[in-house]
Amino acid sequence: MGARSIFLADTMLRLWWLKNNRVMAVLELAWPYTIIIVLVGLGTSYGSLENFKNSLGVTDPILYIFASSSVAFAAVGIIDNAASVAQWHRWLGTLPYIMTSPHKLSTYVIASGLSLSMLTLAMEFLVLLPGVLYFSGPEGIARMSLVLAFLLLGMLPLVAIGGIAAMASLMVREESNVMGFLNPLLLLLSGVFYPLKILPEILQLASKAVPVSYVVEAAKIAATFQEGLARDLFLVAYIIAAMILAYNIAGIAALGGFETIARRRGVTD
């Protein structure tokens, strides 16, 4: 059984779960809008969309809020999803079966985490489409599709980190993903809902090494009707592609070591 089979099996499991539990399916679909309502509601209680538009430097603030909410909950989700898959099996008592199967544990958690992340992203995208169409028209859909492509791309540099988070959480025998703080930290550094200049200089520098920052940048470009859009987006795509290579080469090397230590220590109790 390879990574592809695990990916497909986990996707089917998730889809069937949603099919058999309609309440859960409806609630999952309602979530992206809830997040948007919260941010816009909270923000406009104390200020205005005009201020938001000016401080973020975007032309279409609503489209940006739709896009950035997706970024906030999907781009970094791979880390948590991969780690939570491992924890979930430990809780259920099925981890020993996965450990003794022919493929590597890291392959399983990454494939399963990717499946969950991509499915969540696809669902969010489909659910948000009517809203984007209403506020920004057909062009908004095209721009949102661009953001989706960048979200998928931006997820890839974090794949190996997701695997490491899973192994680390199992190794320390904790109840949850001990590297869960990475999700909001990466979001904080990416300036998803605010201009990066508000952060101290050292955090602004750190944000340059965070792949999600470039996905946020792509969302900003997509929500700004400017000339040379394709050129700017390609530049962002090249940076993310370089990060996919750099992060995963380093991450996969470290992941092998983590898995060996995890197996030696025993992770199922």
Partner 1 sequence: MVSKTRIYAMVWLHLVRTSRFTLSLVNWGVIEFLWLSIYILGVLAFAPPSEYQLIIPMVFWAVAAFGLMSTPVWTIGNWMKYYVNTGVFEEHELYNVSHSLFLALRALPSIVLTLASLTVAWIFLRELTGINPMRVEDPLLLVFGLFFILVLATLYSLIIAFLSLYTEAPGPLLDFMNLLLFIIGGIAAPVERLPDPLKTIAVLTPYSHPAEIIRYASVGYRPYLGLAQEIIATIGYTLLLASLVIMVSRKAVKKAKKEGVKGIGRT
The footprint of partner 1 (CB under 8 A) covers: 17, 21, 23-24, 27-28, 30-31, 34-35, 37-39, 41-49, 51-52, 55-56, 72, 84, 88, 91-92, 172, 174-181, 183-185, 187-188, 192-195, 198-200
DSSP H or E stretch at residue 130: helix 105-155
Identity of the residue, 5 or 21, whose beta carbon is nearer to partner 1 in the bound complex: 21
Q: How far is the CB of 25 from partner 1 (least distance, A)?
A: 9
Identity of the residue, 155 or 187, whose beta carbon is nearer to partner 1 in the bound complex: 187
Q: How far is the CB of 32 from partner 1 (least distance, A)?
A: 11
Count, residues in the chain: 269
Please check whether residue 58 is in contact with residue 223, taking contact to mean a CB–CB distance below 8 angstroms.
yes
**Ramachandran angles phi, psi of 109, nearest 5°:** -65, -35
Burial of 72 (0-12, 13-18, 19+ CB in 10 A): buried
Q: How far is the CB of 169 from partner 1 (least distance, A)?
A: 8
How far is it, in rounded angstroms, from Cα 112 to Cα 106? Answer: 10
Q: How far is the CB of 77 from partner 1 (least distance, A)?
A: 11
DSSP state of 71: I
Report the SS3 class of residue 209. coil
Identity of the residue, 72 or 161, whose beta carbon is nearer to partner 1 in the bound complex: 72
Identity of the residue, 8 or 27, whose beta carbon is nearer to partner 1 in the bound complex: 27
Q: How far is the CB of 203 from partner 1 (least distance, A)?
A: 9
Please check whether residue 73 is in contact with residue 124, taking contact to mean a CB–CB distance below 8 angstroms.
yes
Q: How far is the CB of 34 from partner 1 (least distance, A)?
A: 5
Please check whether residue 147 is in contact with residue 67, taking contact to mean a CB–CB distance below 8 angstroms.
yes
Maximal CA-CA distance, the chain: 58
Identity of the residue, 227 or 269, whose beta carbon is nearer to partner 1 in the bound complex: 269
Sign of CA dihedral 248, 252, 258, 262: positive
| Residue 108 exposure: Cα atoms within 13 Å on the Cβ side | 22
Q: How far is the CB of 180 from partner 1 (least distance, A)?
A: 5
Identity of the residue, 116 or 244, whose beta carbon is nearer to partner 1 in the bound complex: 116
Identity of the residue, 167 or 244, whose beta carbon is nearer to partner 1 in the bound complex: 167
